[in-house]
Structure 1
């Protein structure tokens, strides 16, 4: 039986998490880009700056026999301001101006939120572990942490064509709005999305209210 453990993200997991994200979202990352997986991992290594101490995020990883097989990142507040500067000139020289500019726009449209409340920026599961309850476990673990932080709702956006939406429905998420975004279609390759919400307040607390 597969044994999955959940723990808080640590900075030492950075490269493993980036590799997981690139393999999980490769169709979005590669859309209109002349880049390889290694190229994209290198670019993210230079521009992604989420740290373990950043209280603006709730960040967990799922492990199977010490290997990271899942990750969830939830925005819960204002992120720490970074002093690190993106080496744009160096990256443009290495990968081309268009590739880098297009990639930055892509990241913007992938991470832009419709909600100011707690919002799942991404959830990813290793391809070899899908269908084994990893995503469900990550969501359940995160929800418990959010309830302890007194949050009452959780939001996400999923592509209409993404089978993961069925997991979200089973976990109690409901459609708020169906979105047709030509900008996301151009930069990411998917224009139709679903904005979803789940009330995570416990029944015990709901009775008190």
Structure 2
């Protein structure tokens, strides 16, 4: 029988070290999850730079950062990643200039715009925000996404949260997965052309699940 196991926190040791293969894996899947936004912000040719950038953002973080990042393994191979955030976590995830690649003026401005749109989130008390979730392409359709959402929910309950939510582009077919997990659409956000200018998407939905 195929097994699904979880790894959390992600490869954090007493020296504040973060295994390089975990950084690269998580960084690559983060770019895949937001690929359209990164292409919109920079260019298709900059995707390798974005992978390096996202891997860099995973390194040298406070210990609490790694307690919010999860990896699911499928038959011993890394298959998916998920990250959650809580009230007061902004400093843990702050952007650092040393992580940014050299993209030139246009590319840098575009990247800062998309990061602002993604990162500028005020999380309510007793609430968990699913910041990102991504599954390795060859493992899709095998329940990895559900496992990641289940892990996020368990962690949120353990921290005393009463609700868990995420944002998803209304054009994203993964919205169906969230509905199956009992997430419901609470609001939609478009604000005319601003969302498109920042992310390349026209509309996002805020989906929430009540935790009991």
- Regarding TM over 0.5, the answer is yes
* 1:31-61 Cα distance to aligned partner (Å, 9 max, x none): 1423432111223344566836126962211
In structure 2, the partner of 1:190 is 201
Conserved? CA contact 2:6–2:71, under 8 Å: yes
What count of residue pairs does the alignment treat as equivalent?
198
1:113 to 115, 121, 127: 121
Q: 1:144 to 1:110 in 2, by over 3 A?
A: same
Mark the runs of 5 or more structure 2 residues left unpaired by the alignment.
12-17
Q: 1:55 to 1:37 in 2, by over 3 A?
A: closer
Q: Return the TM-score normalized by structure 2.
A: 0.81
Distance 2:139 2:204 in 1: 25
Matched, 1:99 2:123: no
In structure 1, the partner of 2:15 is none
Conserved? CA contact 1:56–1:75, under 8 Å: no
Q: 1:82 to 1:136 in 2, by over 3 A?
A: closer
Conserved? CA contact 1:76–1:118, under 8 Å: yes
Instruction: Please list, as runs of the form range in 1=range in 2, the aligned pairs for 1:78-89 lying within 5 A after superposition.
Output: 78-79=88-89, 80=91, 85-87=96-98
1:74 to 63, 76, 84: 84
* 1:12-33 Cα distance to aligned partner (Å, 9 max, x none): 2111100111123222211142
Q: Return the TM-score normalized by structure 1.
A: 0.82
Matched, 1:18 2:27: yes
Conserved? CA contact 1:56–1:76, under 8 Å: no
Matched, 1:139 2:143: no
Conserved? CA contact 1:56–1:78, under 8 Å: no
In structure 1, the partner of 2:211 is 200
Conserved? CA contact 2:41–2:113, under 8 Å: no
Matched, 1:33 2:7: no
Q: 1:176 to 1:81 in 2, by over 3 A?
A: closer
Cα deviation for residue 136 of structure 1 reads: 0.5
Mark the runs of 5 or more structure 1 residues left unpaired by the alignment.
202-209
* 3-state SS of paired residue (1:37): helix
Q: 1:115 to 1:137 in 2, by over 3 A?
A: same
Cα deviation for residue 145 of structure 1 reads: 1.9
Report the RMSD for the aligned CA atoms in angstroms. Answer: 2.6
Cα deviation for residue 64 of structure 1 reads: 2.1
Q: 1:50 to 1:130 in 2, by over 3 A?
A: farther
Distance 2:75 2:66 in 1: 29
